Amino acid sequence: MRKNVKGFEIKHVILIIIVTAIITSITTGVILINRNRLLFGSSGLLNDSGINEFVKVYNSLENNYYGDFNKNEIIDAAIKGMLDYLGEDYSTYLNQEETDNLAEELRGQYKGIGISITEGNKIVKVFDNTPAKRVGIEENDLITNVNGTDTAGLSQVEIVNLIDKTKENVIEVDRNGEKHTYHITPESINYPLTRTILENNIGYIRIETFSNTVGEEFKKAYSELENKNMTSLIIDLRSNSGGLLKGAAEIANIFLEKGKVIYYLESKGKKEVLKDNTDEAKNIPIIVLVNEGTASASEVLAAALKESYGATLVGKTTYGKGRVQQTKKLEDGSMVKYTTALWLTPSEECIDEFGIQPDYDVQLEKNEEGLYEDTQLQKAEELLTR
């Protein structure tokens, strides 16, 4: 008689083992296939002879190279080499430090108390909704002491460096001869935009970069100037090298009528259009100041305001960066940045390598003392007061 194994015949046990092995093999194969799809995508890179050659060389170096090498660094060098091969300035590899610096710049925020001081200790601006504003610090206060250190004779940078960004600070100020002491804890603050009212109720807003918060900050600046009876506006984009495309679109949305084109994107085999989809619109004379350093997102905004709103451009021909980049963060904290499309103006013009010509070509000029005068700003004011 055949013996049973815990209620099963031996042939049944053997069958179970075989079926289990088959299921395990299939499951392992599916996992590996899915993993490879994640790594290589669905474009057949797994079977690409070039990729396989690269892997063979890497394995050969790892197993046979006589010296030691850093695996992360050699992979980084390979990635950088691929991007360098493209021969395009805008497709690049950024190490972790460069990636972190770019991310901080584009966040549009800094850790601080919300004041601006001159060379010395005078507070020239206290920004709204900041720790300094909430505790009662005022413009024209003189900072006399920070955390027990007398500020007499210190420079602006030295005074700023006395403020500890990680904890509560004790700051003493002189206000018209009276001493006031404040306890202030720094917070994350959006970079404010320079704004002011010039003569003849002309508003002025300068944009340094198109960060993640630039749209929000521009709205605040514009509203503040409106409350000061602004009747026309100068937007200064000189030497603004760009940033996030969405920032340019957010500002354009404030002014353009619904349905007006902001820009086109032209990539492999397709063209997309971004139009103003908001109900908000303005009807105020605008002059945009531009120069050779006005690039990328700055040019997008300048072109949108010129062609879809009717703004006037004053200054010099812009840089001419008509390409759009996509970024990909790598596991080690570094990043690759590569071009994915061209952007076109509302009239479907490509400004790449050509730039945008201003309506009024104005060169900065030196005065009798050899110092530059802002003749471009002067021209803008002149045009708005005609």
Amino acid letter for position 178: E
Strand, coil or helix: 287: strand
Catalytic residue status for 321: yes
CA 46 to chain centre: 34
Strand, coil or helix: 192: coil
Catalytic residue status for 296: yes
The one catalytic residue among 172, 217, 299, 307 = 307
The one catalytic residue among 91, 211, 296, 308 = 296
360 within 8 A of 377, measured Cβ to Cβ: no
According to DSSP, the β-strands at 312-315 and 372-373 are unpaired
The one catalytic residue among 275, 321, 334, 379 = 321
Q: Which residues contact 274 (CB under 8 A, 6 or more apart)?
A: 249, 261, 262, 263, 264, 265
DSSP assignment of 233-260 equals EEEE-TT---B-HHHHHHHHHHHSPTT-
Interior/surface letters 145-184, b for 16+ CB within 10 angstroms, e for the rest: bbeeeebeebeeeebeebbeeeeebebbbbeeeeeeebeb
Calpha distance 345→343 (Å, rounded): 7
Which helix (H) or strand (E) element contains residue 226? helix 214-226
Token pair of 66 as six digits: 């006589």
Token pair of 70 as six digits: 């850093």
Catalytic residue status for 368: no
Interior/surface letters 290-312, b for 16+ CB within 10 angstroms, e for the rest: bbeebbbbbbbbbbbbbbbbebb
Active site residues: 296, 307, 321
